[in-house]
Amino acid sequence: MNELVPTHETGSASLAEPLWKIRWKLIRRGIAQNWEIFKESRIGMLGIILIIAFGIFGAMWPIMINTVWDPMVYDPVVGFDPMTMHPSPPSATHLFGTDPIGRDILAQLMYSTGREFLLGVLSAVITVVIGTAVGTAAAYYGGFIDTFFMRIADIILLFPFIPLLVVIGSMVRLSFLPFAVIMGVLGGFGGITIILKAQALSVSVRPYIDAARIAGGSDFHIIVSHIIPNVLPLSFLYMMFSVTSAILSEATLSFFGVLNIDMSWGMMIHTADVAGYLFDFAKYWWLWAPAGLAITLFCAAFYMVGRGLDEVVNPRLRKR
Amino acid sequence: MTLPTATESKDVILEVCNLSKYYPVNQSFFSGKKALLHAVDNVSFQVNRGEVLGLVGESGCGKTTTGRLIVRLATPTSGRILIENTDVADIKGQGMMEFRQKVQMIFQDPYESLDPRMTIFDIVAEPLNVNGIGTFEEREAQVEEMLNLVGLAPPSAFLFRFPHELSGGQRQRVAIARALVVRPSFVVADEPTSMLDVSIRTGIMKLMAQLREDLGISYLYITHDLAVARYLCDRIAVMYLGQIVELGDSEDIVKKPVHPYTKALISAVPVPDPAIERPIPNIKGGVSKPIDPKPRCRFYDRCPESESSCAEAKNPELRDIGGGHLVACHLL
């Protein structure tokens, strides 16, 4: 704390350090304090460890394919191992076995990890940016804007979008990026808007908003420098939950085979399914278990981080 | 209503004429009949330059609403507010920026009126930032000067702290510094000491009196505490159910109250001596609701001195009973 205080004498009009340096220190201190609270949540730490593990797993893909693995055999999409019958159970050459058309399961799993990260984070960021902006505007301006966006949120919340996307997907075959954007936008105008609007509403009636208005702040100034900073912790929390929902939707739609994605965890199960191996799922467990477990753990990891962040954002949940 | 005319020699900074603010309330869910809550009803007063006018009254009598109307946090239903002879309602665009620098407000709750995510420097500099006053170095110098002035010294020890690291009294000093950093000529102080400890309260009151001397600021000081009003204010206006019932010099109001309500209010002030037997305030009942009030004297139902003529008579207007002492009562 004390190292932040500039050491000059009273009344002189110069700070000991440039302002950005002080601000940077304040931000670092804030993060450090929040990290202390976060660390106390066991579930949150477990989530962080899982995410780091997935990160390392995904980062190993380019290393493995460029050094150890032969791209002809181990390519997740077009690879084929002519040495065995397919699908082959786990062995020394294929640690997690191969799929019905001779591709290595472990390679597929690794290759997909990075893309799941990209999909989840991209769609979560879109969700949160839209949700925060729309929720804040609806809370601050009220009236028509509020009614309009809240009705849209109700529709999105109540409408069964997975079946709809199955139908749309079978017509247009969404590829990876458009799908991430659609999930992000749907999420952004959906339930998260209502939650963030509620938070923005409670912020916008605080006396410091009146104080900012009396200081001469415009609506834009009040929204950007007072309401949004006070809503942002909650936005960040819901970003974690959005990752989970985006990944789950992707897995579901990939399983139905309506996405134009070459490889993903959902695709892996889809491949096993269309080849008919899921009828004897206990015998051919390596076709679906690794991918299913990956989806479950990945979603759980972000959910658990969200639960940990919840304790940082809502002081009432803290143990002490 | 005849306006209480100020002596022409004095420089009037704020003039409030027949100010009213009604809020619609739904009395019953099914009837759909709209009733009006008369928060502020036909209030007129003036504040001279360099003067402190105290606005005293119990909870819900419309003091805070009056203050919010003056700083344009709410729009009046009718009536005019003139600040330095410009109608507040007409101010637009560039004039708004000047108005925001001229008129500031200090809030009641220092725990809620400072943004918890901003540092003290950002909070105090905000009025300068949004109005684009000065370069960064000038703003910084001004903020430090202001913090010194409100007794937060050395400023460097406070600049980059967050509000939650400060005590209630220090926060209220920050709030005062923020209000005064643009050098306003008029400040609405909405019970700035009511949320503070008694021990800190005096310090803040002394500070406000000192700043008034140093910077030549006029205050509208809203409070429910007559002792505070007597200490700080030159004149006191007593409000009851949205109307001013008595207005006059502080000492006059405290020593020679005329209106029955003011008398009751003064007799309720605690005296720090257990030997003194205080008269029991002889007003009846509780505060009536200011929803669609009857057109007679607002205090009639509770007045200990009311006569039968009061029931039929219209709402009394403020009358001068000499020496700028205004009272709204039929019995004088």
d(CA B105, CA B68): 9
Percent of chain B with pLDDT over 70: 94
- Residue A205 inside a domain? The answer is yes
Domain count, chain A: 1
CA dist A300 and A247 (Å) reads: 11
Please report whether residue A74 resides in a domain: no
Tokens 């390519």 correspond to: A75
Tell me the pLDDT of chain A (320 aa) as tens digits. Answer: 344 444 444 444 456 677 788 888 888 888 888 888 888 888 999 999 999 999 999 998 888 888 878 877 788 877 777 777 778 888 877 888 888 888 888 888 999 998 889 999 999 999 999 999 999 999 999 889 999 999 999 998 888 878 888 888 888 878 888 888 988 888 888 888 999 999 999 999 999 999 999 998 889 999 999 999 999 888 988 898 899 988 988 888 888 888 888 888 888 888 888 888 878 778 888 888 888 999 999 999 999 999 888 888 877 766 65
- A127 falls within a domain: yes
Q: Assign residue A155 the CATH number of its domain.
A: 1.10.3720.10
Give per-residue burial for B192-211: e unless 16+ CB within 10 Å, then b.
Answer: bbebbeeebbebbbebbeeb
B221/B56 Cα distance (integer angstroms)? 8
Beta strands B326-327; B52-56: pairing state: unpaired
Has residue A320 been placed in a domain? no
Measured in whole angstroms, how far is the alpha carbon of residue B324 from the centre of its chain? Answer: 20
Is A161 part of any domain? yes
Chain A's closest residue to B140, CA to CA, is: A13
Contact yes or no for B108 and A19 at CB 8 A? no
Residue A263 lies in a domain: yes
- Per the domain annotation, does A212 fall within a domain? yes
Residue type (1 letter), B324: G
Q: Is residue A190 part of a domain?
A: yes
Of B103, B117, B154, the CB nearest to A10: B154
For residue A207, the enclosing domain spans 114-314
Q: Do B148 and A10 touch (CB under 8 A)?
A: yes
Q: Which of B73, B141, B157 sits opposite A210 (nearest CB)?
A: B73
SS (H, E, C) B8-27: CCCCEEEEEEEEEEEEEEEC
ipTM: 0.86
Which residues on chain B are in Cβ contact (under 8 Å) with A226? 115
User: How far, in whole angstroms, is CA A22 from its chain's centroid?
Assistant: 31
Q: Where are the beta strands (DSSP E) in A99-150?
A: none
Put simply, the answer to whether B126 touches A4 (Cβ < 8 Å) is no
To the nearest whole angstrom, how far is the Cα of A231 from the nearest Cα of chain B? 11
Site of tokens 């709809």: A164
Beta partners for B22?
B38
Contact state of A215 with B109 under an 8 Å Cβ cutoff? no
The DSSP call for residue B244 is: E
Question: Measured between CB atoms, does A11 come within 8 Å of chain B?
Answer: yes
